[in-house]
Structure 1
Amino acid sequence: MSARIITIAQQKGGAGKTTLAAHLAVAWAKAGRSVALLDIDPQASITAWADIRRALPDAPEQPDIRALTGWRVAGEVDKLKKQFDVLVIDSPPHAETEARVAVRVADLVVVPVQPSPMDLWATQATLDLARQEKTDVLLVLNRVPPRANLADVMEQAAAKLGVKLAKTRLGNRVALAAALLDGKGIAETAPSSVAGREIAALAKEIYKAAKN
């Protein structure tokens, strides 16, 4: 077994990095894959969510959620990739050692971005880091408002930056935050909802793109 290693990275705050990491990890677990979710973000939001999740009466065993310090990431990933189908890394919001290692070990770096040219431009530091580490990048439009007409503009802007934009786009869904407050993912609380279908489609697209 050799896991697909997917790092969720975004140095611009407010893009939904950690929310995306948690929901994707649960979606892959619900699809029958063994998943490890590694929290190396000093804000430790994944770890806080994991504490709620572990306290549930019917606490799910998957994904396997672990908090790591940056210097341990490469060694831990090397060990875990032999035990799991998917490794998801929630990386820190900066370009220091921990983020660089998380990008370096990944098969794919997933970068959530809100549908605004200014937000896209603000991701340049994250894209530069991925290029330096020679890791493929997939941009994901997140919190897309209803009837947003920026999709084509964003696709053209992404092309100019030399990065691929995911076909699946995520709306501004309250259900995603609500699920996390309950210690769960949308694939567990409302898989048939619009938010659930969007996350499921994105999980499939990313898994295929991260083929190692």
Structure 2
Amino acid sequence: MSGRILTVAQQKGGSGKTTLAAHLAVALAKQSGEPVAILDVDPQGSLGTWYEAREEAHGEDETGLEFRTASGWGARREARSLARSHGYVIIDTPPKTDTDAKPAIDAADFVIVPIQPTPVDLWATSQTIDLAAREDTPALLVLNRVPPRALLTGEMAEAIAESGYDTLNARLGNRTVFASAMGRGCAVTEDAPSSKAAQEVASLIEELVDRIG
């Protein structure tokens, strides 16, 4: 068995990396029926804090996920080791540093890049795309924290399309339910399964799985 390694990366802070990583892990575990591991290489440890909340909510043996941490070049070794026994390995990386992100991107089959629909975020994303390109790892953009009915969102979607970046059609909205679910160690697909947010995650997973095979 050799699972897919998906590294969530974005050089700009505040893009929603950890929230996206957690939701990918939970949804892929349910969709695939395979074991899924999450690997936190961000020194802030936000994914680890979420996982601890998940252990408290579900029980240490009932999280449905395996959790590991690593730093620097240890991330590549740990990710590849986990991929031998898991269908998917989801890696959460720190912003603003190539040192920890580079090994995680090198190990990945795909880099998932969350981007908020603003010009500043688009400018910053080019750094992450360039880093992925240097490691010869394909990158997929995900529009995240998208405000409802904003003119800027449409304009930015066009700008991203013109940039030539490979972008998924599915988007995740700027919804408080994401934050509340994370605070309880859950994903919205568990905490609010009938919500619009859960539907957005389901659409994202369906498209992502189709793209990555």
TM over 0.5, shorter chain: yes
Aligned counterpart, 2:53: 52
- Please list every run of 5 or more consecutive structure 1 residues that lacks an aligned counterpart in the other structure: none
Distance 2:110 2:44 in 1: 23
Shift of 1:175: 0.6
Shift of 1:178: 0.4
Q: After superposition, what is the alpha-carbon deviation per residue over 1:46-83, rounded to whole angstroms, capped at 9, x for unaligned? A: 01111111122545331212111222122222221121
| Residues 16-95 of structure 1 aligned to structure 2 (within 5 Å) | 16-31=16-31, 32-56=33-57, 58-59=59-60, 60-95=62-97
Does the 8 A contact of 1:6 with 1:107 survive in 2?
A: yes
Count of aligned pairs? 211
Does the 8 A contact of 1:35 with 1:86 survive in 2?
A: yes
Aligned counterpart, 2:2: 2
- Please list every run of 5 or more consecutive structure 2 residues that lacks an aligned counterpart in the other structure: none
Is 1:109 the counterpart of 2:111? The answer is yes
Aligned counterpart, 2:155: 153
Does the 8 A contact of 2:7 with 2:111 survive in 1?
A: yes
Distance 2:58 2:47 in 1: 19
Aligned counterpart, 2:129: 127
SS in 2 for 1:123: helix
Residue type of the alignment partner of 2:57: L
Distance 1:152 1:52 in 2: 36
SS in 2 for 1:110: strand
Distance 1:58 1:192 in 2: 24
More helix by share: 2
Distance 2:155 2:138 in 1: 22
Aligned counterpart, 1:144: 146
Quote the RMSD (CA, aligned, Å).
1.6
Residue type of the alignment partner of 1:18: T
Distance 1:166 1:146 in 2: 18
SS in 1 for 2:136: coil
Shift of 1:152: 4.5
Is 1:194 the counterpart of 2:196? The answer is yes
Residue type of the alignment partner of 1:139: L
- TM, length-normalised to structure 1: 0.92
Residue identity (%)? 48
SS in 1 for 2:68: strand
Distance 2:159 2:83 in 1: 34
Distance 2:207 2:189 in 1: 16
